[in-house]
Amino acid sequence: MPEKKTIEYSLPGFIPRHIAIIMDGNGRWAKKKGLPRLAGHKAGVDSVRNIVRFAGKIGVKYLTLYTFSTENWARPVKEVSFLMKMMNRLLETEVTDLDKNNVKLKIIGNRSLIEDKFVKKIEKAENKLKNNTGLNLILALSYGGRDEIIHAVKRIIENVKNGKDIDIDEDEFKNYLYTEDIPDPELVIRTSGEYRLSNFLVYQAAYSEIYITKTLWPDFNENSFTEAIEDFNKRERRFGKV
């Protein structure tokens, strides 16, 4: 089988420093093919692997992937169990490859909802890759934008109770978010054609450019990624100014 062709050569001169992706459409992809939803999630993993490698190759510094939301815990038990087991295995099998490609890993989200054994694997993976200097891969796992803000407010309240003098402005507030050491995304991509953020980076994406594609996540490839970046380069970003 011939190697899949990319259009890397046509990339625009400016690559956004931070790109975030709402990976949507695994279930619909499977349904279109007459397959169970779980098959869609497996296919989605292949897209993750391809996009992570491609993002690092073209010079993206930060790539945030919406992996599992706080709302996803309400999905059928069988599906949630499958997703957790799949991500558990991926942490074990993919870390070596990430390390070879100089990728640094950070997982953001509410870890209190995750099984302790899995949390320990997360911490082990992050620690192993912490000194890498290439792509910063951020996986939003058990993540919700509103939950993140509430978590930040609780941290601030706790610090004030403990006698810390805090002068809250936007810059200071960012220090209490899961993304405290990560720049805001310039570009947010959503696959599957839905027009909403779905509780993803609701604070950080205030001035992000939003790119919607009808492509379902398992079909999202290097060409799709390039098209999103090309569209971003056509935007005029004014941040509320004239």
Give the active site residue among 50, 72, 132, 223: 72
Identify the band that residue 12 occupies on the pLDDT scale cut at 50, 70 and 90: low
Give just the sign of the alpha carbon dihedral 32, 34, 40, 43. negative
Per-residue tokens: 38: 């779980």
Q: Respond yes or no: is residue 219 known to be catalytic.
A: no
Domain range annotation of the chain: 12-144+186-232
Residue 6: its pLDDT value, please? Answer: 46
Q: Respond yes or no: is residue 72 known to be catalytic.
A: yes
pLDDT digits over 187-208, tens only? 999 999 999 999 999 999 999 9
pLDDT digits over 129-151, tens only? 999 999 999 999 999 999 999 99
Q: What is the dotted CATH code of the domain comprising 12-144+186-232? A: 3.40.1180.10
Reported pTM: 0.91
SS3 letters for 176-191?
CCCCCCCCCCCEEEEC
Q: Which residues contact 203 (CB under 8 A, 6 or more apart)?
A: 145, 148, 149, 177
